[in-house]
Amino acid sequence: MNNPTMTREQQGLTIRSAMVADAETLAELSATSFHQAFDGSSKQENVDGYVQAAFNPAQLTMELSDPHSTFMIAELGDQTVGYFKLITGEVPDCVQDCQAIELSRLYVRQEFIAQKIGAALMQRVLEEARAKGHATIFLGVWEHNYRAQAFYQKWGFHRVGEHIFQMGDDPQTDWWMARTL
């Protein structure tokens, strides 16, 4: 049954669990999305170095195999348009719930942002976090990524602290944001 509040594009959207076989697809989507969002935020060699280290198929295969991680992929037809990664483990001191789950990544291909793919993924993020029994979710976002901050605030996240995200030789300030589920 079609949901009348969903856009035509969202109605063709599927969100499924990612598998190790998806590592190469996720590596490409991650690299593209990261470059789209962060080129110009630091020296290009810093951005390129981070992308090469964090988003290569071997690294993503390892992350997909981690029992503390949950990856979900958004597909529109035969095209992968976004994904998210939830992870359990270390919780920063500024997050009041030591059993909180982290939204480590929520990436959408830039050309699909206007189609509300991020909103569909965020809805699934919250459902997955609740289903895993968590009462709080948190994330880190770059202090100058105003678009992402506005998106997260719309979903009820609020700033609870900050930390340094090392981009090569460039220490960048990220905000910790959290919300209850």
Domain boundary assignment for the chain? 8-135
pLDDT tens digits, one per residue of 114-126: 899 999 999 999 9
pLDDT tens digits, one per residue of 57-107: 999 999 999 999 999 999 999 899 999 999 999 999 999 999 999 999 999
Q: Which token pair is 130?
A: 């609740």
Q: Which token pair is 6?
A: 């969903």
Q: Is the pTM of this model over 0.85?
A: yes
152 is a catalytic site residue: yes
- What pLDDT is attached to residue 13? 95
Catalytic residue among 50, 83, 107, 152: 152
Q: Is the dihedral of CA 120, 126, 130, 132 positive or negative?
A: positive
User: Considering the chain, what is the average pLDDT of its residues?
Assistant: 92
pLDDT of 140 strictly over 60? yes
CATH of 8-135 given 3.30.470.20, 1.20.58.760, 3.40.630.30, 3.40.50.150: 3.40.630.30
Q: Which residues of 6-29 are buried (b: 16+ CB within 10 A; e: fewer)?
A: eeebbeebebeebeeebbebbbeb
